[in-house]
Structure 1
Amino acid sequence: MEELAREAGITVRTLRFYRERKLIPPPRREGRIAWYDEDHLARLRTIAALLERGHTLSGIAELAEAFDHGRDVGELLGLGAPTEETPVRLSPEELADVFGEEATPENLSAALDLGYLGTDGGEIVHVSRRLLDTSAALVREGIPLADVLAAARRVRDHADALAELFTDLVLAQGSRTTDDLRRLRPLAKSVVDAEVSMALDRKLGKLTGTVGPEGQAPHHAARTRRSTHEAP
């Protein structure tokens, strides 16, 4: 304990206090000897960094508990299942830097529950670089992280339904296999991307008054009617 406290730049009394608050995991014991390792030192340095950023010990304790009881990265990634997403490894203080004041224990617990975050030893793993960057960009635009995560849960439900639809479409042909599904997945992504893009066009058009009640631009609808009347 004295060696760990010295390496972390804190007093033994402070270290005991952190242990009592369960801010660090218990040591490995061999008889009466308690062994601490690099994970304990990393946790202490993280606590110091979060305190410097204005987090309270209560909040840090909640955050530590959330990560200690969260799923590990193997569970999140399906124990080695193929994925096109690139996981990102972060320390807790790096994650706090990404989201600033929005990196609350409640929000990070929600991200753990959603499956965006997992743990791998002393590191935090976000399952997708694209999702991390998008979430951070929305937060920088002033959208609360809690709202982003709530929306993400709804998107997850729709995405699961779309994946089910495409799987049924491909595998309904008796000769198709999961290898075909894997090979054809870029087609599903293209359809979804195009449909979302057009849906946003329609939504923007309605909000700005440039799209009629049936989803067509007024000038386009008029052109269509003229063409129909002029046809022989």
Structure 2
Amino acid sequence: MGAETEYTIDELARVADTTVRSVRVYHERGLLPSPDVRGRIGYYGTDHVSRLQTISRLLGRGMKLNGIRELLDAWDRGDGLADVLGVPVPEEPQASPVPELPDYAKEALAATGDALSTFRITNPRASDLINRLVEAGFRLEDALGTLESLRLDCDQMIDRYAADLIHCLAGQGFENSARTPQDRTKYETDLAIARLIATRATTELIDQAFARHIDQFSAAADVLPAESVD
């Protein structure tokens, strides 16, 4: 903790442009380290100011306190991006078909040719979509083709926006930093936050688009004539 500048809790709140009540809440929730207590007065330093400013930025980006605490804890531990996101880093690429697909699907997958036999389902939700399409009457090749088209459309959409979003939310801050190890850890944390926020926003927009179509199908069903029952 830097000793060149010290603040009481009132001074800290004023410098960080927040309130004393917020400082106390952040401390109680584990987001803010304890002050250096001397006598009956707690003294805060520049690290506390930086932490409060970070919390304010994350709150402004729509993060909740629990999520902020997890990210800050990971940052304090020096975790990398994969650790912050909770994503395991594989030791080597997986070369075999994943087990989410049932046996009949894996057999058909191996027989569909090079273009589809190299297709790997790494997301259980994606494999669930394939299974449900097959159960609805799709040929496995057509189900895989549908998912591949969906993946390509998603890739094109993200490729269009990812660079600008990542640079705005994380890259420009690191470019203007001293590139210290702490700056690097902060950069990886900012990348994790950028991914989380952008993914949540994109998912919500896609869900709203699907909801519009669901509403249309539901409305169409209401006007369809009922089948006669003998």
TM-score range relative to shorter protein: 0.3 to 0.5
Relative to its length, the structure with more strand (as a share) is 1
Greater relative contact order, per chain length (Cα 8 Å cut-off, separation 6+)? 2
TM-score (norm 1): 0.34
